[in-house]
Structure 1
Amino acid sequence: MPWPAALNLLAPLAPWFDRMRRDLPWRAHNLDAPHPDPYAVLVSELMLQQTQVATVVPYFNRWLERFPTPQALAEADEDTVHKAWEGLGYYRRARFLKAAAASVAAEGWPEDLEGLTRLPGLGPYSAAAVGAIAFQWPAPALDGNAFRVLARLLLIEGDPKIRAAELRAWLVPALEAHGPSRLTQAIMELGATVCTPTPDCGACPLADACAARRAERTGEIPPAGKRAKPKESSIWLVAMEAEGHLLLHAPAAKGLLAGLWRWPTIDASEGVPQPPLPGSFPMLAWPGWTQVYTHRREAVNPLHLRLNARFQAAGGLRWIPAADLSTLPLGKRDQRLRGLLATPGQTPLEAPDPGALIRACAAPLG
C-alpha cells in the first residue's frame, strides 16, 4: 500500500485527544490500562450503533444503574430489558446485549478478538472497539467515522470500506505505539466532532498531513452512499378499549419489533374511510404524523375505540389491564399513541368501519 506509515501520520492524534476528548460516562480516566469495567464498554458500543452520543448518555447511565453487571442483565426478564431500552430504537441490540451478558456471566470474557466476535451482536467493528478500549488489544476498529477520517487523510478513492483489510493492517503499528484505547477513541472522536461530513479542517490535528485537504477534495472524499427510496405506507393505529382493558399485540420472538408490544393496525390505503355512523361505537382521533424508519415512511392515523365488552382476541393479541400499559415496552410509534390516550381527542371526520376493526382483531368463529 503506498500510504505513509500510520505510526508517524497519526502521532498528533494522541495528544490532541488527551486535550480535547469529551467527558463520556463509559470512558476510563486512564487510557494506558485496561478498562476497569469492560461491561460498560460493551453496553456503550451496542447502544452507540446507529445512535448519537447525546441520545445514548442518559440511557447508558440508567442502564448501568438498573443492570450494573453482566449477571444482573442476564437474570432480568425480557420485558424489563426492553422497557429500559424503550425509545432508543433498533431493539434487536437490547436482545443481543442481554445474550452477550449471559455469555460473559456464564463463561467470563473472551480472551481474544475471535472470541469477542462470537458474542451476540458484535460484528468486526464492535468486537474490535471492545477489544481495543476495554482490553488494550491492538484491534483496528473501523466504523463510518473512522472510514471517513482515513479516506480523507489517505485520499482513498471510492468506497473506503473496500480497503478495510488494508486499513486494518496499516493501523496496527500505530495502535501498538500510541495505545489501542487512546488512538481508537481519538479516531472516533475526530470523525464525530471535527472530520464530519462537513469538516472543520482548521480544528484538525491532522490537517497538514491530510491528502484530501491538500487536494481540496474533502467535500467529495469519501463519496456519499446512495440511499434507496423509502417505501411509503398509511395505517390506522388503533387503541381498542373495553372493560378497563386495552388490546395489543404481544411481543414477537423475531423481526424488527421483536420484544415490543404493539397496537393493532389497519391498512389505511384499503377502502375509503367514512364519517362515523351516529350511535356507533365511541371513537376519538388525534392529528396524524409520519413515522420515519430506515427504509420506510409510515403515515400514522391514531384512533381510540371504546367497546362495551371484550371479545375473544385473535392469536397474538391480548387484552391488557389499562393500569399495566405504562409498564409495557413499546416502540416509538406505539409510545406516541399511548401518550395521546391521556390527552383530549376529537371525533374523527372520517374513520374505518368499527365493525371491520373488530373483525380484524377477533378470533375466528367455530
Structure 2
Amino acid sequence: MPWPVSPGFLAPLAPWFDRVRRDLPWRAADLDAPHPDPYAVLVSELMLQQTQVATVVPYFGRWMARFPTPATLAEADEDSVHKLWEGLGYYRRARFLKAAAASVAAEGWPGDLEGLATLPGLGPYTAAAVGAIAFQWPAPALDGNAFRVLARLLEIEGEPKAQAAELRAWLAPALETHGPSRLTQALMELGATVCAPRPACGACPLADRCGARRSGRTGEIPPVAKRAKPRASILWLLALEAEGHFLLHAPSAEGLLAGLWRWPTFEASAFPPQPAAGESSLTAWPGWTQVYTHRREAVSPLHLRAKNCFAPGPGLRWIAAADLSALALGKRDQRLRDLLTASGQTPLEAPEVAALIRACAAPSA
C-alpha cells in the first residue's frame, strides 16, 4: 500500500509542537527563520549524539560560556576542551566538534548539505539536522527516534533504516510545507517524549492515523535490534601515590579514550588477590560495575602509597597531586579520583604490592 502524501499526513505535528515544545537553550524562538547562531545548533547536535537531553543541557551552557564561537573553540587547547567535556562520554565528539569549529572559523559555514557533511563528526543525520534547524534547508534528518516514529506511522515491516532513502524522499515535501526547522524538531520531540519505545499513544497528535496503533503492533514496530553481549572483565584500578605525585597514563592520540588521562588498570586474573590485612600502604573502597557499549568492567579501586617516585613504564607519567583535579578523566577514572578524598579501609584481599609497583615501572628500573 502506498504511503500517504506527507504534508497532509503530518499536518497536525507542527501545531502540536508549537504548543508543547520544551524550552531548550539551543532552540531558536523563531522557527520560521534561519537560526541566529548555527554554531549553537552544531554544538547541541554533537552533544546529543547518544546522550539524553537532560544530561546535555548543563554541559551546553558551560560550553557556550567558555567557547561561545567557532573561533574560540578552534583556538582552545585540547586539554581544556576535554576537561569541559568530562563526564559526557564518547569523547571523540569533542575532538570532532573542535575540528569542525576550526573549519568553520577558517572557511565559513558550508553553503549546502554536501558541504556540511564534510565537516568532522557530521554523518548524514547530523548534517541534515544542522541544515534543517540552523539554515532552514529541507533536509530530512532521520535518527533513531525519527525512524521509530515513521516506522509506526507508516507500519513499516522490518528495519526502517533499510528504507532510509525512501523515507527521506517521502518526508522532504512535508519539510517544505511546514518548515524544515519546525517539523524536524517536532519529529525529534515526538520520538523523545511520546512515541518512545513504550509509546504514550493517548498524547500523540498523529494517533488517529498511526498504522501500528490501528493494528495493535506498536510494541513490535520497529523490531528491537539485537545487541552483542558485552565483554566482561575484572579489574584492579590503581591510584599509585609517591612524594605528592600520582601515576597516570598520559592521553593517547587515538582510540576510544583519546585525550583522557587514565589510572593504571590490571586484569585480576594476572594479579590475583591475596590476604592483605595489615598492609598499611594500601587503601580500598567498595567496587562497582562500569558499563560501556561493548564491555562491562567489574572495578576494584585501590590507593597505593609508595615511598619514592620511580622511572615509570611506557605511557605513564607522575602528576602532582595539586594538578589532579585539572586533568580530563573518563567517568570510571573520575570516580577513583573522587574516592581519594573519602575514607577507605585496608583491604582484606588485594594484589601483591611489589607486583603492582613492578608493573608500573620502566623495564630498566
**Shorter-chain-normalised TM-score: which range?**
over 0.9
CA RMSD of aligned residues (A): 1.0
Aligned to 2:232: 232
1:326 matches 2:325: yes
Whole-Å separation in 1 of the counterparts to 2:159 and 2:277: 58
Helix, strand or coil at the partner of 2:32: coil
1:350 matches 2:349: yes
Tell me the amino acid that sits aligned with residue 214 of structure 1: R
CA shift for structure 1 position 266: 0.8
Is residue 232–residue 297 contact of structure 1 (8 Å, CA) maintained in 2? yes
Aligned to 1:22: 22
Whole-Å separation in 2 of the counterparts to 1:17 and 1:273: 57
Is residue 281–residue 354 contact of structure 1 (8 Å, CA) maintained in 2? no
1:37-186 to 2 correspondence within 5 Å? 37-186=37-186
Is residue 132–residue 140 contact of structure 1 (8 Å, CA) maintained in 2? yes
With normalisation by structure 2, the TM-score equals: 0.99
Is residue 240–residue 246 contact of structure 2 (8 Å, CA) maintained in 1? yes
CA shift for structure 1 position 355: 1.1
Aligned residues: 365
CA shift for structure 1 position 272: 2.8
Whole-Å separation in 2 of the counterparts to 1:348 and 1:17: 56
Aligned to 2:2: 2
Q: What is the CA deviation profile of residues 160-193 of structure 1, one whole-angstrom value per residue up to 9, with x for unaligned ones?
A: 0000000000011100010000000000000000
Aligned to 2:273: 273
Is residue 47–residue 56 contact of structure 1 (8 Å, CA) maintained in 2? yes
Tell me the amino acid that sits aligned with residue 19 of structure 2: R
Aligned to 1:202: 202
Is residue 152–residue 213 contact of structure 1 (8 Å, CA) maintained in 2? yes
Alignment gaps of 5+ in structure 1: none
Aligned to 1:283: 282
Alignment gaps of 5+ in structure 2: none
Whole-Å separation in 2 of the counterparts to 1:184 and 1:342: 46
Whole-Å separation in 2 of the counterparts to 1:281 and 1:204: 62
Tell me the amino acid that sits aligned with residue 58 of structure 1: P
Whole-Å separation in 1 of the counterparts to 2:130 and 2:48: 12
CA shift for structure 1 position 277: 7.0
Is residue 271–residue 352 contact of structure 2 (8 Å, CA) maintained in 1? no
Tell me the amino acid that sits aligned with residue 111 of structure 2: E
Helix, strand or coil at the partner of 1:81: helix
Aligned to 2:247: 247
Is residue 281–residue 305 contact of structure 1 (8 Å, CA) maintained in 2? no
Is residue 281–residue 307 contact of structure 1 (8 Å, CA) maintained in 2? no
CA shift for structure 1 position 276: 2.4
Aligned to 1:299: 298
Is residue 284–residue 345 contact of structure 1 (8 Å, CA) maintained in 2? yes
Whole-Å separation in 2 of the counterparts to 1:356 and 1:115: 54
Whole-Å separation in 1 of the counterparts to 2:336 and 2:53: 27
Whole-Å separation in 1 of the counterparts to 2:158 and 2:43: 33
Q: Could you say if the C-alpha distance between residues 40 and 210 of structure 1 is closer, same or farther in structure 2, counting changes exceeding 3 Å?
A: same
Whole-Å separation in 1 of the counterparts to 2:213 and 2:222: 12
Whole-Å separation in 2 of the counterparts to 1:339 and 1:306: 17
CA shift for structure 1 position 358: 1.0
Aligned to 1:222: 222
CA shift for structure 1 position 342: 0.1
CA shift for structure 1 position 270: 2.3
Whole-Å separation in 2 of the counterparts to 1:161 and 1:191: 15
Whole-Å separation in 1 of the counterparts to 2:264 and 2:333: 10
CA shift for structure 1 position 271: 4.5
Whole-Å separation in 2 of the counterparts to 1:71 and 1:315: 35
Whole-Å separation in 1 of the counterparts to 2:216 and 2:364: 71
Helix, strand or coil at the partner of 1:237: strand
Is residue 280–residue 346 contact of structure 2 (8 Å, CA) maintained in 1? no
Tell me the amino acid that sits aligned with residue 22 of structure 2: R
CA shift for structure 1 position 69: 0.4
Aligned to 2:339: 340
Whole-Å separation in 2 of the counterparts to 1:221 and 1:180: 26
Is residue 140–residue 184 contact of structure 1 (8 Å, CA) maintained in 2? yes
Q: What is the CA deviation profile of residues 239-262 of structure 1, one whole-angstrom value per residue up to 9, with x for unaligned ones?
A: 000000000000000001000000
Helix, strand or coil at the partner of 1:246: strand
CA shift for structure 1 position 281: 6.3
Instruction: Indicate the larger mover: 355-364 or 29-38.
Output: 355-364
Q: What is the CA deviation profile of residues 211-230 of structure 1, one whole-angstrom value per residue up to 9, with x for unaligned ones?
A: 11111111111011101111
Whole-Å separation in 1 of the counterparts to 2:237 and 2:360: 13
Helix, strand or coil at the partner of 2:235: strand
Tell me the amino acid that sits aligned with residue 136 of structure 2: Q
Tell me the amino acid that sits aligned with residue 235 of structure 2: I
